[in-house]
Structure 1
Amino acid sequence: MKEAVFLDRDGVINEVLSHRVKFVNKPEDFYLLDRVGQAIKIFNEEGFKVFVVTNQGGIGLGFMKESALHAVHKKMEADLAAFGANIDDIAYCPHKPKAACACRKPKPQMILNLAKKHDVDVANSYMVGDRAPDIEAGREAGTQTVLVGDRKEDHTSADMYFPDLFSFAKWVASS
Structure 2
Amino acid sequence: MGFLPSPPRAVLFDRDGTLVVDVPYNADPALVQPLPGAAEVLDRLRRQGVRVGVVTNQSGIGRGMLTAAQVERVNAAVENLLGPFDVWELCPHAPGYGCICRKPRPGMVLRAARRLGLDPVEVAVIGDIGADMRAAAAAGSRGVLVPTAVTRAEETAAAPLVASDLAGAVELLWGSR
Match of 2:141 in 1: 143
The match for 1:159 is: 160
CA contact (8 A) 1:42 1:169 kept: no
Distance of 2:175 and 2:27 partners within structure 1: 33
Cα separation, 1, equivalents of 2:24 and 2:60: 12
Instruction: State how far apart, in whole Å, the 2-side matches of 1:73 and 1:174 are.
Output: 33
Which residue number corresponds to residue 126 of structure 1? 124
How many residue pairs match? The answer is 166
Residue identity matched to 1:157: A
Asked if 1:8 corresponds to 2:10, the answer is no
Could you list the structure 1 runs, at least 4 aligned residues long, displaced by more than 6 angstroms after superposition.
none
Where does 1:25-174 land on structure 2 (aligned, <5 Å)? Answer: 25-81=27-83, 86-150=84-148, 151-153=151-153, 154-171=155-172, 172=174, 174=176
CA distance 1:132–1:15, shift in 2 (3 Å): same
Deviation at 1:173, TM superposition (A): 7.7
Deviation at 1:147, TM superposition (A): 0.3
CA contact (8 A) 2:113 2:120 kept: yes
**Structure 1 residue 133, shift from structure 2 partner:** 0.7
CA distance in 1, matches of 2:159, 2:175: 20
Aligned partner of 1:156: which letter?
A: A
- TM-score of the superposed pair, with normalisation by structure 2: 0.86
CA distance in 2, matches of 1:28, 1:98: 30
One-letter code of the match for 1:69? V
C-alpha separation between the residues in 1 aligned to 2:160 and 2:122? 13
TM-score by length of 1: 0.87
Deviation, 1:51, is 0.9
Distance 1:80 1:162, change over 3 A: same
Structure 2 residue identity aligned to 1:28: A
Shift, 1:87, TM fit: 1.1
Contact 2:126 2:169 (8 Å CA) reproduced: no
Deviations 1:35-82 (A, max 9, x none): 10001111112221111000000011111110011100111001013x
Q: Contact conserved, 2:130 with 2:156, CA < 8 A, in 1?
A: no
Distance 1:74 1:174 in 2: 34
What secondary structure does 1:6 align onto? Answer: strand
Overall identity of the aligned pairs, in %: 31
Question: Quick one: which amino acid aligns to residue 133 of structure 1?
Answer: A
Aligned to 2:100, the other structure's residue is in SS state: coil
The offset of 1:170, in angstroms, is 4.2
Task: For 1:22 and 1:140, locate their aligned partners in 2 and report how far apart those are by CA, in whole Å.
Answer: 26
Looking at structure 2, the residues matched to 92 and 22 of structure 1 have their Cα atoms a distance apart, in angstroms, of 15
